[in-house]
Structure 1
Amino acid sequence: MLIDILGKYKVKATFFVVGDWVDNYPESVKALHDAGHEVMNHSNTHAHMSQLSKDEIIADVEACNDKIEAVTGVRPTLIRPPYGEYDDNVITAIRSIGMEPIQWDVDSLDWKDLEAPEIIKRVTGKVQSGSIVLFHNAALHTPEALPTIIETLLQEGYTFVPISEIILPQPYTIDHTGRQLPADAQAS
């Protein structure tokens, strides 16, 4: 259903999938990829990565990467750590295998089964230029909320792009709001 809504508005998105979901729904993963969406890593087992060793993190992430690549032909370069948990160990482990950890700045809270009007208000009221919005593909009211969110944001002049098109390459810094800035921008 989400793929149809995004297709109607010609919106390309990034889907972070768990390895177990790839195992159970390979046709859905392939459909996302074939529709032009990015399919990236959300871990293999949805573990609390901050409780894992560097080697355990790498093994988990690579297992999911292998599954996604087997289905789509493309190896993920981004990961959204489960629960939004990260620390220096998680970031170091992920970057050691050439991947970039991703966070979000607008949480739709759709996973709490909020009603569609609440999801719409949360997202449209918090989005700003460069925002990364967190949705969940199995959330109850997301399909109902998404068309209004897309239409509202398009009317406000926003465009939608996959995450890989907005993240900056190294070197960069992150300011107090969580936004990336080119490293030389701090000197200005």
Structure 2
Amino acid sequence: MGLSKPYVTGVFNNVSSKQQRKLPIYCVERDDKKISISFDAAWGADDTDEILQILDKHGVKATFFLVGDWVRKYPDKVKKIAAAGHDIGNHSNKHPHMGQLSKEGNKKEIMAAHEEVKKLIGIDMNLFRPPFGEYNNTVIEAAEECGYYTIQWDVDSLDWKELGTDPLIKQVLDNKHLGSGSIILFHNNAKYTKDVLDTIITGLKQQGYELVPISQLIYKKNYYLDHEGRQKPIKDNKQASLKIK
């Protein structure tokens, strides 16, 4: 499962000070109140049907990041997720620590899962979330070269800590990072996720948020990332002088 990573503005030990620090997309600058819910699926699948039912009840489309091994073990669940209109994202093939792999090793992990999903449901994924939320320049470059946007989150539900329902609800609805363009992290098989999802979605809607899949939240071109990993659109010539995607 993914682990919470705070915003970081420094440089990893394995990146020299002369290299540009690459960041994934943690959240998105938006003028509207659109946000995204995401689920990492790496281990079990017992709660997946109930999660899909809750999302359907609220008319919400989410993003599911799937590990290749999970896809092979639960192909019917993958088909259900896709049939319901949710985003399917790549969460690696075997859930390794990808920062310890070479660029070629990263590409093999990403593309093995990519081909597994394409073979099963015929789609080409383009959203990637590294296992454990761990990344470095090599990981992000490998994903880019495979045609992927690397996606993190700015609101961690902490469902993987299994702290109970009330702490989980408060962790999301009262999160200091929650705002327009936020990406919320859940796991499909964490103990309390299915029990709080209805309440959390209701609470988010009461706060005025519209929940959309990540593919509809992020900018696909003419953007840049600030030092916190916030994706921003290019609006003027000064911003255009930054690294444009």
Once the two structures are TM-superposed, the CA of residue 177 in structure 1 deviates from its matched residue by 3.4
Counterpart contact for 1:120–1:145, Cα < 8 Å = yes
Q: For the structure 1 residues 96 and 181, does the alpha-carbon distance in structure 2 shift closer, same or farther, using more than 3 Å as the test?
A: same
Unaligned runs of 5+ in 1: none
1:123 aligns to 2:172 (yes or no): yes
Counterpart contact for 1:105–1:178, Cα < 8 Å = no
Higher helix share: 1
Counterpart contact for 1:2–1:137, Cα < 8 Å = yes
Distance 1:11 1:186 in 2: 37
Alignment match, 1:64:
113
Q: For the structure 1 residues 89 and 139, does the alpha-carbon distance in structure 2 shift closer, same or farther, using more than 3 Å as the test?
A: same
Q: Secondary structure at the match of 1:187?
A: helix
Once the two structures are TM-superposed, the CA of residue 187 in structure 1 deviates from its matched residue by 2.7
Distance 2:236 2:112 in 1: 37
Q: For the structure 1 residues 125 and 176, does the alpha-carbon distance in structure 2 shift closer, same or farther, using more than 3 Å as the test?
A: farther
* Larger RCO, structure (CA 8 Å, separation 6 or more): 2
Q: Secondary structure at the match of 1:177?
A: coil
Alignment match, 2:94:
45
Counterpart contact for 1:113–1:139, Cα < 8 Å = yes
Alignment match, 1:163:
214
Question: How many positions carry a matched residue from both structures?
Answer: 188
Once the two structures are TM-superposed, the CA of residue 52 in structure 1 deviates from its matched residue by 0.5
Alignment match, 2:232:
181
Q: Secondary structure at the match of 2:238?
A: coil
Residues 109-131 of structure 1: CA deviation (Å, up to 9, x unaligned): 10111211111101011221110
**Letter matched to residue 48 of structure 1:** H
**Letter matched to residue 130 of structure 1:** G
Once the two structures are TM-superposed, the CA of residue 171 in structure 1 deviates from its matched residue by 3.6
Once the two structures are TM-superposed, the CA of residue 186 in structure 1 deviates from its matched residue by 8.4
1:153 aligns to 2:204 (yes or no): yes
Alignment match, 1:25:
74
The percent of aligned pairs where both chains have the same amino acid is 48
TM value normalised by structure 2: 0.74
Distance 2:196 2:237 in 1: 38
Once the two structures are TM-superposed, the CA of residue 72 in structure 1 deviates from its matched residue by 1.7
Alignment match, 1:74:
123
